[in-house]
Structure 1
Amino acid sequence: TEMVYIFLKNWGVKQGKEYNGFSEIQVNSCSRCGICINTCQLNTSCNINDTQPVYFLRRLRNREEYAQQAEDCLMCGRCENSCPVGINLNAIRQSKRPDILRVTKDTYAYVPQPEVKPAKVAYFAGCMSHLTPGIIKSMQQIFEKAKADYTFIDEQAGVCCGRPLALSGNWKAAQVVMDKNLQMIDASQADILVTSCPICYKTFKEDYLLNIKVMHHTEYIDMLIQEGQLKVNALDLKTVFHNPCELGRGCGVVDAPESVLKQVSRKIPTAYDGKKSLCCGGSLANTAIDSTQKTKISSDTVKAYAAYQPDVIVTACPLCKKTLGKTSPEIPVKDIAELVAEA
């Protein structure tokens, strides 16, 4: 089965949003090597050892009950990144979550459609950035320093990008949210859409089918520095970088944040750089574990990065910043945009 899977994958067949024949081939291609068990932070931090892909896929093969395993996953992608067969583990698990339409086109009728002024760059902060206003303030400072022609499309009002609904399996509901956001994006007439949230970034890139360039703020800042539009000075700080799951493993954005961080600080290399990054524990995808278990994952992640004795733990996600910040009382946790604004 694995040989058939490799052939189909190389031929360009991809896993869609629904469980289908290609999904079945992948499920039966699992070699039961167990590498996913060791890479899973639910196992190492919470001693949850029955939900990893090797067990979940076995339940699917054997036509056994799998609801608990489908829900109990951080969707961080560490298992998928280490799978020697290259199975689309997150997508298969997501396809097995029930698609229940809890949201209709009238759900967000109370949210006024903001007036969006046209500009070359549209900035979408997203829900979590609005809950971490330091990131927004830093991005506004960066836009102004670079003299960018930008419009802040969800400054006064907006709705979620739709990713949390999609992660829970509710694709139809997510589409309702996405349609509302598309109106704002189209009204901006922008050439580039910049977002500070990797969750929004992945959704805009993969699910919105936009005709404009989508950039995470690390990519945009890197571009500004490389093109000489933004001048920065290196701060006298030792930093380690926590690459958010959706940014590094989820979208393959590794070089841009590394480049920016090296420009503004003394970046310390770690065993968790790039796609080997640890999950912060604040995942919106896991609906099975409680807050105590999530805090344990976050605490273990902070300890792993703190072992390198940095002055600052830097991330590039508002959710990661909030999650790691709660369990890092001694070492400050900052978003990369905040560090750039200081520089």
Structure 2
Amino acid sequence: MRASSKLEPVKKYVYICARCNSCKLIYHNGERDEYMESCPAGSYFVFEPYWASGKNLMARALIEGEYEMTESTVQKIYSCILCGQCESCCQQDVSDHLVEVFEALRAEAVASGLGPLPAHRTFKENIDKQGNPYGEPADQRFAEEYIKKHVKDKADVVYFMGCTAAYREKDLVKHTVSVLEKMGIDFAILKDETCCGSPLITTGQVDAARSIAEKNIAAVTSAGAKVVVTSCAGCFRTWATQYEKKFGLTLPFKVQHITEYLKDNIKKLKFKAAKPPIKVTYHDPCHLGRHGGVYEAPREVLKRLPGIDLVEMPRNRKNAWCCGAGAGVKSAIKDLALETAKKRIAESEGTGASLLVTACPFCERNLGDAIKAASSTMAMKDIVALVDEMIS
């Protein structure tokens, strides 16, 4: 039995992979002449189907009808965190399309009826009912007074909170609103904000996400906004790249992550110096960095904060180790998510920093869980919270 049309768009890519194994390791030919792990799932399970080369081979076999989708296949497909590190390491022409292949495999799993995993099925059910994957009451998204006062129909700037920040990491919304206010920005939070659709797109339920994308674009367009600002890296990737790439939809406005917006407007703020100085290391969220190309904006913001000493982890920017939470892995394969995050915490401790900063609520949540599980003394904070606390 041959695969459905879900794999057809990536057919031309799966034949390029030469299985050279360059996707499996990061080579540091600079300060350190050494190899380091690149793939969380491959490193955790140590079996070829979990690495990029193995998943690419599965896609090829499905296309050619030499292999059928099974529950075992589905488990391997959904163990990928879709971090994109393999794309940075790959030395073949398929390098820019590996995540595309893996997302197509998930869509194929859904089309076969075997996917997504049970934990992921609730995403769609909850979004359909409450507008968020957590199943929290829709009206609770706007419950706080600091949110309510900015809910309006028109503005040049729309702040898209996102589900994880709105329901799980609420301090991020509070700090983002505070910083925007202190910069004197007239912004709106839309009264009908709903999920961006990322949990559906990354778990293969992409067809169900089209209507969400269309609704979100229409809402922002109706508000007359010139820019959408997100504080979630996953929301940023979805708005900035996936609506057009997956659905061919055009956005008549600009999309910026809050770190980009901060960089462009940071002269509007004055800061007090951290006393004593704080040694900080920065974790690149995969959706913001490798998927979104935003590496320097967060670092430029951190360098503008007096008393903050930024030190880099060995794996940073395009080579950054994933937090372990993405693509539904934290929901369905919790051990993999936690062990991946623990490795990142150990790496951050090796820098001598006392504070680990990131720019994504999902990264903050999973890395925070790892800090607790590892009994680490590392402190964890979103970059927006750090900025807000240092404004004089």
TM range (shorter): 0.7 to 0.9
Shift of 1:49: 4.4
Which is further off, 266-275 or 251-260? 266-275
Residues 17-42 of structure 1, C-alpha deviation per residue, up to 9 Å, x if partnerless?
A: 9432x622321111211122332122
Task: Find the counterpart in structure 2 of residue 93 from structure 1.
Answer: 102
The alpha-carbon deviation at position 288 of structure 1 amounts to: 9.3
Q: Which residue of 1 aligns with 2:246?
A: none
Instruction: Please state whether the residue corresponding to 2:304 is helix, strand or coil.
Output: helix
Matches within 5 A, 1:121-270: 121-130=157-166, 131-153=168-190, 158-206=193-241, 207=243, 209-225=250-266, 228-235=267-274, 236-264=277-305, 265-270=308-313
Distance 1:48 1:18 in 2: 25
RMSD across aligned positions (CA): 2.6
Instruction: Give TM-score scaled by structure 2 length.
Output: 0.75
Q: Structure 1: 5+ residue runs without aligned partners?
A: 1-16
User: For 2:128 and 2:19, how far apart are their aligned partners in 1?
Assistant: 46
For residues 42-53 of structure 1, the aligned pairs below 5 Å read 42-53=41-52
Question: What residue number does 2:81 align with?
Answer: 74
User: Any conservation in 1 of the 2:59–2:101 contact (CA below 8 Å)?
Assistant: no
Q: Is the 8 Å Cα contact of residues 295 and 317 (structure 2) preserved in structure 1?
A: yes
Corresponding letter in the other structure for 2:270:
K
Moved over 6 A (4+): 112-115
Q: Offset at 1:108?
A: 5.3
Partners of 1:86 and 1:238 in 2: how far apart? 39
Structure 1 or 2: more helix by fraction: 2
CA distance in 2, matches of 1:161, 1:300: 29
Q: Which moved more, 1:249-258 or 1:84-93?
A: 84-93
Tell me the CA shift for residue 70 of structure 1. 2.4
Q: Distance in 1 between matches of 2:179 and 2:331?
A: 39
Letter in 2 for 1:342: E
Report how far residue 177 of structure 1 moved: 2.1
Q: Is the 8 Å Cα contact of residues 45 and 300 (structure 1) preserved in structure 2?
A: no
What's the offset of the Cα at 1:137?
Answer: 1.3
Q: Distance in 2 between matches of 1:78 and 1:111?
A: 35
Task: Work out whether residues 10 and 104 of structure 2, in 8 Å CA contact, stay in contact via their aligned partners in 1.
Answer: no
Q: Report Cα offsets for 1:242-262 as digits up to 9, x if no partner.
A: 010011000110110110111
**Aligned-pair distance for 1:176?**
2.4
Q: For residues 278 and 322 of structure 2, what CA distance do their matches in structure 1 show?
A: 24
My pick for the range that moved more, 45-54 or 110-119, is 110-119
From the superposition, tell whether residues 289 and 139 of structure 1 become closer, same or farther in structure 2 (CA, over 3 Å): closer
Q: Gaps spanning 5+ residues in structure 2: where?
A: 26-37, 114-120, 132-136, 143-150, 244-248
Give the fraction of aligned pairs with identical amino acids, expressed as a percent. Answer: 28
Tell me, in whole angstroms, the C-alpha distance in 1 between the residues paired with 2:328 and 2:18: 25
3-state SS in 2 of match to 1:245: coil
Aligned pairs, number:
322
The alpha-carbon distance between structure 1 residues 132 and 107, as it changes in their structure 2 partners (threshold 3 A), is closer
Q: Secondary structure at the match of 1:266?
A: strand
Matching residue within 317, 336, 343 for 2:383: 336
